[in-house]
Amino acid sequence: MEEERKFYLTKKGLEQIKKELESLKKIKASKIKGETPQLLHSEDVNPEYLTFREDMNFLESRIAELENILKNAVLIKIPPKTKQNIVQLGATVTLEESGQINEFMIVGTLEANPNEGKISASSPIGKALLGHKIGDEIIITSPIRVVYKIKKIKYHSM
């Protein structure tokens, strides 16, 4: 049996997953209550029925996926004050690279969105940052070599 994978989520991310699950359950219930198309339309398989089955299969698989995520979710918490000088999940890290400043929040893979400044702890930069402190330099080599210097680490409610 496959080992259960942990899904690291912020409180906000956990709430979004719960909302999506409830929404999909409501959609599924309304589809079931509605009129189900007939399997056969004369001699041929009814295309409306095929579309209905496809939609139901998608809903059921996404609901199962979300339920698995919730079952295996681990809430990202702010570390104690004594450990807030180390990059961990949930940290917002200010980095300097060639004089340019960037800020990223380290999150689990489900919440990663570089456009919002959220990078996954399992991404090359995320992995390299974990466990480091202000002033440390990290080197990323993929496909080019980039050196980042950690300027600031902060934690805030998630």
3-state DSSP of the chain: CCCCCCEEECHHHHHHHHHHHHHHHHHHHHHHHCCCCCCEECCEECHHHHHHHHHHHHHHHHHHHHHHHHHCEEECCCCCHHHCCECCCCCEEEEEECCEEEEEEEECCCCCEHHHCEEECCCHHHHHHCCCECCCEEEEECCCEEEEEEEEEECCCC
| Separation between Cα atoms, residue 127 and residue 144, nearest integer Å | 17
- pLDDT digits (tens), the chain, 158 positions: 445 789 999 999 999 999 999 999 999 998 888 776 766 666 677 788 888 889 899 999 999 999 999 999 999 999 999 999 999 999 999 999 989 999 999 999 999 999 999 999 999 999 999 999 999 999 998 788 999 999 999 998 76
Q: In the chain, where are the structural domains located?
A: 7-75, 81-154
Site of tokens 């990078």: 119
**Model pTM score:** 0.79
Which amino acid makes up residue 154?
Answer: K
Same topology between domain 7-75 and domain 81-154: no
Q: How far apart are CA 76 and CA 111, in angstroms?
A: 12
Pick the CATH number of 81-154 from 3.10.50.30, 3.40.50.620, 1.10.357.10, 3.40.50.150: 3.10.50.30
The correct CATH number of 7-75 out of 3.40.980.10, 1.10.287.180, 3.40.50.2300, 3.40.50.150 is 1.10.287.180
- Compute the distance between CA of residue 33 and CA of residue 6 in angstroms, rounded to an integer: 35
Count Cα atoms within 13 angstroms, Cβ side, for 129. 32
Q: How many CB atoms lie within 10 A of CB 156?
A: 9
